[in-house]
Amino acid sequence: MVRFIFRVLFAAVGLWLAARLVPGISADGWQTLIFAGLLLGLVNAVVRPVVVVLTFPITLLSLGLFLLVVNAAMLGLVAWFLDGLVVRGLVPGILGAIIVGVVSWAGQVMIGDGKSD
């Protein structure tokens, strides 16, 4: 449960950083960011695997680059559900997804995967 909370917090920090760095992404406040991090985790767990399977041929042809579009779409879906989060277009979505992914990855490295060696 603690790892899940940290993952949500790292996603929220990534969204905050994306809102600060990427023109075209904005968020109202920390409550929106925390809820967006929670919703992004849910969307990535439920919707993203289905989309990845359905878009596998184009992902294969693009050597995996289409996954950036998939991640941007997941971020856009979260923004569509939340009034306080705005993603204005594909390019801000892709840049925001990259930032959120890097911050989440760095957080995962810091807290570990929960498996003992």
**Residue 116: CB atoms within 10 Å:** 5
pTM reported for the whole predicted model: 0.86
Say how far apart CA 22 and CA 31 lie, in whole Å.
20
CB-based contacts of 98, cutoff 8 Å, min separation 6: 68, 71
- In 3D space, the residue among 107, 82, 112 whose CA is nearest the CA of residue 9 turns out to be 107
pLDDT in tens, the chain (117 residues): 788 888 889 999 999 999 999 999 999 999 999 999 999 989 988 999 999 999 999 999 999 999 999 999 999 999 999 999 999 999 999 999 999 999 999 998 988 766 655
DSSP state of 62: T
